[in-house]
Amino acid sequence: MRSPRRCSRNGCPRQAVATLTYVYNESTAVVGPLAAFAEPHTYDLCEPHARSLTAPRGWEVVRHEGEFEPPPPTTDDLVALAEAVREAARPTPRPPQDDQNQPPNMPATSRRGHLRVIPPPH
């Protein structure tokens, strides 16, 4: 499962439950529910930091009224990992082997994915 997003404030280990967005042309700071995805120009905040945020003089703070809910757990990362493992386990088609390039006294080898099986010498 995905690890929860953390508060963007330095040194804060708490889980984020709100997203802060600055609207510069309106001199407004907007604190709302946690966005579905982390965006480069937004900040994730824990509940104490979301509730106590202040803006510079002349700016307005628009704050979500109500409770900040932590995001529900998702299995996206787990599903992606399982699909990657399945993909890696699928056998890859082997190119036709050319036995003429192998010296006569060398044992035959076989490949499976990135592994090579070399039989013991007789």
| Sheet containing 28-33, strands listed edge to edge, beginning at the edge strand earlier in sequence | 42-45, 18-23, 28-33, 60-63
**Tens of pLDDT, residues 38-75:** 888 899 999 999 999 998 899 999 988 777 777 665 56
Q: Residue 68: phi, psi to the nearest 5?
A: -95, 120
Question: Which of 14-18, 25-29, 93-97 has the lowest average pLDDT?
Answer: 93-97
Q: Which residue would you say has higher pLDDT here, 101 or 81?
A: 81
Burial of residue 49 (number of CB atoms within 10 Å: 0-12, 13-18, 19+): buried
pLDDT of residue 100: 55
pTM: 0.55
Q: Which two tokens stand for residue 93?
A: 């088609």
Q: Which two tokens stand for residue 50?
A: 């979301």
State how far the Cα of 34 lies from the Cα of 64, in Å rounded to an integer: 11
